[in-house]
Chain A
């Protein structure tokens, strides 16, 4: 895969100025900040205690007391969504961290060395890509049992080749540039050049990919906990809430509606943020998905 993109030539001030006029970025930023804020607030305060079961209040529709209604144990759905946000964000964020932390050095190394190292990395990538996140999760769960940690590992492993690919493609586009030749003529080695020149120039690509993988991670985590391979009860998670809602669609459709909306809004926010960053920093960049 080759990638060509123009390196934006901007100062921080002009980037910020553009950010505040970019609709995608602003919307995405506000939504993402709100979701993050909700997750943080949930540590200090939620409308109701999510660990307390109040059977008398079970499956109540939305009301002033319970904006999003209650579940089959009488728990407040709004409160559960707030607490569930923590889990979603944590899993997706750590998985992105794993993917970047391992994938970017691998990709940059492969691009710098070329030859056998590069070929080996690409084959390894093919290998991991052959196991969609859910399949790895199934294998991991089959052995270690379900849980949030295993979900993180499964999603994180899947993120590694994604970042390795983007980093490699970006680095390969930079390496033949004349400023790299100039650095080599100045006696700088591959490692130093990668740190000084390659990484700063592919940072924006990685940032954009990061928001995409963050969003995909939230979707994947929801999917895993929906089929029971993610966070385990009593820890509320969005996917698990949807699983509980499934058999009660007829009597309590709100149990499915609101957690799903939470997922949609969060993912939408992150995707808009990613689009916005890509627009602002590099209108011509080719986005990898």
Chain B
């Protein structure tokens, strides 16, 4: 008899069918991984179990938890279950905690609510729970407020809230998606330990096949609200019987076909970064004084050859995005010089930068935020043409936009559409079209695929590889995802606390990391191959 049993669950919100005949089960002490791309209905499945669905949702089928029929349970019964027998952890730690209450209050609240314990007792238990999730009293007294904690620490508080009363079932909905790989590994370890300690059932929801493979005993693969395949993790993923399972697994490990890597040192360097430093003023302590400035980028030097593809990897907050912005002359450096094609770009006026801007473009992470929703594609993709010496005539401009759209696999007919008429992957293609329309020599891409589903991600990586080959564009890829670095770059630079601590050929650095920072990144990075192999080995 399983702890949680879902049978023939169908869900509609308004007139939209979200889930169709979904079935899965979680036993005590078992980790069930629920995998799917965005829109597959993973989160809605979790919210159905919690009965925290939007009000227009209608669920049919059977959901049984510990012998209780969840779909028929009253709100009072559900309140008794939530937080006591079922805990839940959410994706976004930055917003999951109430900003005006202390972490102690927030952890103790559920304890007091369910056990009617006194304030002192509840706080005592809250203290122990926070100790358990790795927030010791010395640095994290109960009186801390959420804004005083980092993302990873906040996620620990959320886990403490969810596990405070030793629930029988924990539902974790993308608990590490908003964290960098090192934090992700730590949080996953914590979850694994808590499951083992309390013989808790864990329903782990993720889009990341590697994460789920490392964590889950059994796996359920969801697509468009329907279960594609379910079963033992190692077997399901090694046999890959279902075509969709195969597709997902392959997309996760996709490496675009690329010709032999460009060699550095051939000819003049395209980009030279020399002793670049960036300080941000510290918070104001009084009216006239600021506390010591924080150094986001610390004495960084490197150079890139034309046509070379280089990855800049590091944990979140290590200064990689700041460095990228300085290279793009979108942020001023505190010290140091950046040279592009031999010309200094630091300290130049916007007018003087125009020639450099022609040959240097950018692709951002968020396919939704990188387009002005009020403008049509033609205008958006043509925006960099602003830097051209001679502005093209309207007809010529349309011609150029059409060509760029064609190059990224979109139709010239898309020119008169608005960005919201495109999917996430198509928008990222638009983003690339905009970046290549001036035929730049360098494209800086800041996490260009991390917001995309795996199958789309594979296609976009292919496109990057193809354009690198065809147009000889050099890439600087900013990413925290080592699989992306491995897939598309010749060289990798590892950044830590504002410094570049290691640089070398991509395969070399990723297979034999030397610095502590690089080792930590490599060790923490989920890897589907490795995870499957380990699972198979464990099971013999």
Contact = CB atoms under 8 A, between A and B. Distances in A.
Given A9-B373, A201-B372, A185 B362 contact: yes
Interface string A95-108: 00000000000000
Interface of B: 325, 328, 330, 350, 353-354, 357, 360-362, 364-366, 369-375, 380, 383-387, 418-420, 434
B7 to A, nearest CB: 37
A152 B374 CA distance: 34
Given A11-B418, A200-B374, A201-B374, A186 B384 contact: yes
Contacts of B387: 186-187
Which 9 A-B residue pairings sit nearest by Cβ, starting from the closest?
Answer: A9-B420, A178-B370, A187-B387, A178-B364, A186-B384, A200-B374, A187-B357, A178-B369, A9-B373
Interface in A152-198: 177-179, 181-189, 196-197
Contact of A185 (B361, B365, B369, B372): B361
B328 to A, nearest CB: 6
B364 A186 contact: no
A114 interface: no
A7 interface: yes
A185 B370 contact: no
A8 interface: yes
B350 A177 contact: no
A15 to B, nearest CB: 12
Contacts of A201: 372-374
Contact of B370 (A182, A186, A200): A182
A179 B386 contact: no
A33 to B, nearest CB: 27
A9 B383 CA distance: 20
The interface residues of chain A, by DSSP majority, are classed as: helix
Q: Which of A7, A184, A186, A196 has the most CB of B within 10 A?
A: A186
Contact of A177 (B330, B361, B369): B369
A43 to B, nearest CB: 38
A196 B383 CA distance: 11
A10 to B, nearest CB: 8
Nearest to A181: B330
9 contacts: A177-B370, A178-B365, A178-B366, A181-B325, A182-B362, A184-B330, A186-B383, A196-B372, A196-B375
Contacts of B361: 185
A147 B131 CA distance: 71
Contacts of A11: 418
A200 B372 CA distance: 9
Q: Which of A9, A179, A181 has the most CB of B within 10 A?
A: A179
Nearest to A182: B370
A8 B325 CA distance: 28
Nearest to A7: B373
A222 to B, nearest CB: 37
A89 to B, nearest CB: 30
A77 B296 CA distance: 71
Contacts of B420: 9
A185 B330 contact: yes
Given A178-B366, A200-B374, 5 more contacts: A7-B374, A179-B371, A179-B372, A183-B372, A187-B357
Contacts of A184: 330
A196 B387 CA distance: 16
A201 B375 CA distance: 10
A188 B374 CA distance: 17
B362 A9 contact: no
Contacts of B373: 7-9, 201
Contacts of A181: 325, 330, 362, 364
A11 B416 CA distance: 12
